[in-house]
Amino acid sequence: MNWDAIHRALASWRKGLQRHSAEPGSLTEPSVTTVAEYYAHDPWAVLVSTILSLRTKDEVTLEASKRLLAKAPNPQKLAALSEEHIAKLAYPAGFYRTKAASLKKIAAILLDQYNGTVPADMDALLALPGVGRKTANLVLIEAFDLPGICVDVHVHRISNRCGWLNTKTPEETEMTLRVILPKKYWKGLNALLVLYGQNLCRPVSPFCSRCVIADHCKRIGVEKCR
């Protein structure tokens, strides 16, 4: 697999999309990336926004993250809030009550075990309530600039659609990509494929006629395209 060619094509497409957007800055970044940049890649802000982002639209995640982080910019402040108050700030993020409970527990663990800081360690992050591999990888990438492969529905779908691999779950996709994908491309993969999946390589009827990586795609499972 010519990963260099794939990366160049996707990166070039992304730059072109940004350049030809109707208005400056109209190209929407994933909400966690936006939050990370706004809060100078603060690990707590990234962790909070990533948890809120699960099964939630980007625009909802962004506003909920801003509300919650304005009241709880660190674990100490969040620990002082009631679970009900946290849930109110997180609303209408998906499963906001469950996420509020997880964040309350996470804040207590960070204060008790890590002196109020977010650990830069995969196993430690996975041990936190409500934190899965997608969340842990995003925190390592966005907050600590460490190598990780964040696999969401877009990365999982496109990787299998192109025939780069044949996996059943996002976790299996991550583990396979860790073996076959050069490490220099790990961190940026999610940002490229999420944007590509939202705009061109959609779940149903993708825009194959406009695909910049068509030469590297087997169109597995594609029954109808544009």
Q: Cβ(138)–Cβ(176) under 8 Å? A: no
Query: Is 134 among the catalytic positions?
Result: yes
- Residue tagged active-site, from 42, 99, 152, 187: 152
Which tokens belong to 214?
């068509």
Please work out, in degrees rounded to the nearest 5, the angle formed at the alpha carbon of residue 152 by the alpha carbons of 146 and 154.
120
> What is the Cα–Cα distance from 45 to 65, expressed in whole angstroms?
8
- Residue tagged active-site, from 42, 99, 104, 134: 134
> What is the Cα–Cα distance from 135 to 209, expressed in whole angstroms?
33
**Cα of 60 vs its chain's centroid, Å:** 14
Contacts (Cβ under 8 Å, ≥6 apart) of 217:
161, 162, 163, 208, 211
> What is the Cα–Cα distance from 37 to 142, expressed in whole angstroms?
9
Catalytic center residues: 134, 152
